[in-house]
């Protein structure tokens, strides 16, 4: 990972007596997009609210570029922009009025505000709606305004809580593109409960379930994790299982239902090709071959299964 700008150490939080997150630790590099994935109630918003200094944690520490967000909140917050799940948009303001207001509360010097507002409107594709009331913008454009306020002070880190939630498919694609663009110059963390969202956008993934971190690695590693590792064969003249188990890169062969045979293989570039060719050479009369891939939901359930925080302490 490139030099880290966020360090989260053993973060835990409880509301009243119930723990919402438990012992979450991870770091975030200076560039790229990190996806925080988890189902509803997993603890994403709690983590992001603490990370952005909106909520004080029960235990653990968060450092933004080495600054403790709890003890030096104002200094740390200058380095980040945040779009919470329920963006605090003032619907009675127009885009210019709202962004001017955001620039002022972000301490941008008065003489630079006009330039800063123009720059984010351009970047977020909302310049043509400058005088439009926020209440009259579509969901996708409101989200763009929300992202604009998060980057108006040019922070090194942008945190977006479910930025594509409630958008239609076109708006989702547009907001994803915008997120990729703003991540070219800084680090972006965004949360979602949709796996394909993270796969489409992120280089790194942190998955939280039941308040615990259940997966933390690159997107590539996650995709490898969910790659198929077994194949189902139907053959008219199948050989003995031992013959199949002895094939290159095959770990194990077993009988499956309906007379099929399942082969478990180690990572291999082209297992299907090898099986088809061998079957033709040996006269096994292969009629069907199907790679078995766990569904994303199964992976989600499997990873989440065994890590639940205690409900009380």
Binding site residues, ligand ATP, CB under 6 A: 15, 20, 38, 40-46, 85, 193
Name the residue nearer to ligand ATP (CB basis): 153 or 212: 212
Q: What is the Rg, in whole angstroms, of the alpha carbon atoms belonging to the chain?
A: 25
Q: Which among 88, 16, 94 is positioned nearest to 52, based on CA atoms?
A: 88
Minimum distance from CB of 153 to ligand ATP (Å)? 25
Minimum distance from CB of 84 to ligand ATP (Å)? 10
Minimum distance from CB of 36 to ligand ATP (Å)? 8
Name the residue nearer to ligand ATP (CB basis): 40 or 257: 40
CB within 8 Å of 32: residues ≥ 6 apart: 2, 183, 187, 188, 202, 203, 204
Minimum distance from CB of 41 to ligand ATP (Å)? 4
Minimum distance from CB of 177 to ligand ATP (Å)? 23
Name the residue nearer to ligand ATP (CB basis): 256 or 299: 299
Query: How far is CA 272 from each of CA 111, 231, 284, rounded to the nearest angstrom?
Result: 65, 8, 14
Name the residue nearer to ligand ATP (CB basis): 42 or 69: 42
In this structure, the strands spanning 261-265 and 212-218 are: unpaired
Name the residue nearer to ligand ATP (CB basis): 60 or 238: 60
Do residues 51 and 69 touch, judged by C-beta distance below 8 A? yes
Structure tokens at 17: 């007596």
Structure tokens at 186: 């800084």
């Amino acid at each position: 990972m490139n030099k880290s700008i966020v360090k989260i150490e053993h973060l835990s939080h409880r509301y009243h007596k119930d723990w919402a997150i438990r012992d979450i630790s991870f770091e975030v590099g200076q560039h790229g997009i990190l996806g925080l994935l988890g189902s509803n109630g997993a603890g994403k918003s709690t983590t992001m609210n603490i990370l952005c200094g909106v909520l004080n944690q029960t235990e653990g520490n968060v450092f933004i570029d080495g600054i403790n967000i709890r003890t030096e909140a104002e200094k740390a917050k200058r380095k980040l922009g945040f779009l919470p799940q329920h963006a605090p948009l003032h619907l009675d303001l127009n885009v210019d009025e709202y962004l001017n207001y955001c620039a002022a509360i972000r301490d941008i010097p008065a003489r630079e505000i006009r330039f800063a507002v123009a720059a984010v409107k351009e970047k977020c594709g909302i310049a043509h709606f400058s005088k439009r009331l926020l209440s009259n913008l579509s969901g996708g454009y409101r989200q763009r305004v929300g992202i604009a306020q998060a980057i108006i002070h040019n922070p090194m880190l942008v945190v977006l809580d479910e930025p594509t939630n409630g958008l239609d498919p076109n708006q989702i694609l547009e907001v994803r593109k915008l997120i990729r663009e703003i991540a070219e110059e800084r680090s972006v963390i965004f949360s979602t409960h949709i796996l394909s969202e993270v796969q489409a956008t992120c280089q790194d993934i942190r998955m939280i379930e039941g308040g615990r971190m259940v997966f933390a690695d690159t997107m590539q590693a996650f995709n490898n994790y969910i790659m198929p590792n077994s194949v189902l064969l139907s053959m008219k003249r199948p050989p003995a299982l031992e013959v199949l188990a002895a094939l290159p890169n095959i770990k194990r062969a077993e009988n499956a239902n309906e007379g099929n045979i399942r082969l478990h293989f180690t990572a291999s570039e082209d297992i299907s090709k090898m099986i088809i060719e061998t079957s033709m050479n040996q006269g096994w009369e292969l009629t069907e071959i199907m790679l078995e891939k766990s569904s994303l939901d199964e992976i989600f359930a499997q990873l989440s299964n065994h890590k639940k925080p205690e409900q009380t302490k």
